[in-house]
Structure formats: structure tokens, C-alpha cells
Amino acid sequence: MYWTLPTATFFISIFLMLCGMLVWELVSPTIERSGFLIISTTRGTRFFLGLLGSAFIHLAWLGFTDLSLWIALPISAVWMIIVMRWG
């Protein structure tokens, strides 16, 4: 794989988010809760489902539009916030 600045930024961002989730878990242990998702989830589960949903948003954006992929970034960020807060 050819490492470009956007590729490196993506993987560094994911790594930093995982480190942040680790610190958050150590400071405040999570409890399972139910939100709008069908299953009861922990903070880590909601994070994973948010990342997975963001990937699908980007793939759908690539498949159904000819617009810039950078437009899908705020949409997936909003999805991530919604899943982490109310999922």
C-alpha cells in the first residue's frame, strides 16, 4: 500500500481514538445500556458500530454519487456522535 498523507492521517486518527477510549475506560468504567440500537451495548461496542457505520456511509457515498468523498466525512462524524451518545 502506498502511504499518502491522508492514509497516514486516517490510521493515526483511529489509533488516537482507540487510545482515548482506553483512557476513558480506565477513568470511568462503562456499563451496558440500551439505546436505539437493538442490542445492549458498552462504550466500545458503540465505538465499533460507529466506525463500521462510517465505513458503510463512505462506501455508499462512493457507490451512489460522483461528489467529493470529503463531503461524506461530516455525515459520518455526525453518525459517530449519534451512535456514541444515544446508541
**Residue spans per domain, the chain:** 5-86
User: Which pLDDT belongs to residue 1?
Assistant: 65
Tell me the whole-structure pTM to 2 decimals.
Answer: 0.82
- Using pLDDT thresholds of 50, 70 and 90, give the confidence band for residue 75: very high
What percent of the chain clears pLDDT 90, i.e. is strictly above it?
69
Q: CA-CA-CA-CA torsion for 58, 61, 63, 64, nearest 10 degrees?
A: 160
pLDDT mean over 47-75: 93
What is the residue-averaged pLDDT of the chain? 91
Beta carbons of 48 and 58 less than 8 angstroms apart: no
Q: Where are the beta strands (DSSP E) in the chain?
A: none
Spatial neighbors of 39 by CB under 8 A, at least 6 apart, are 45
User: Which pLDDT belongs to residue 63?
Assistant: 94
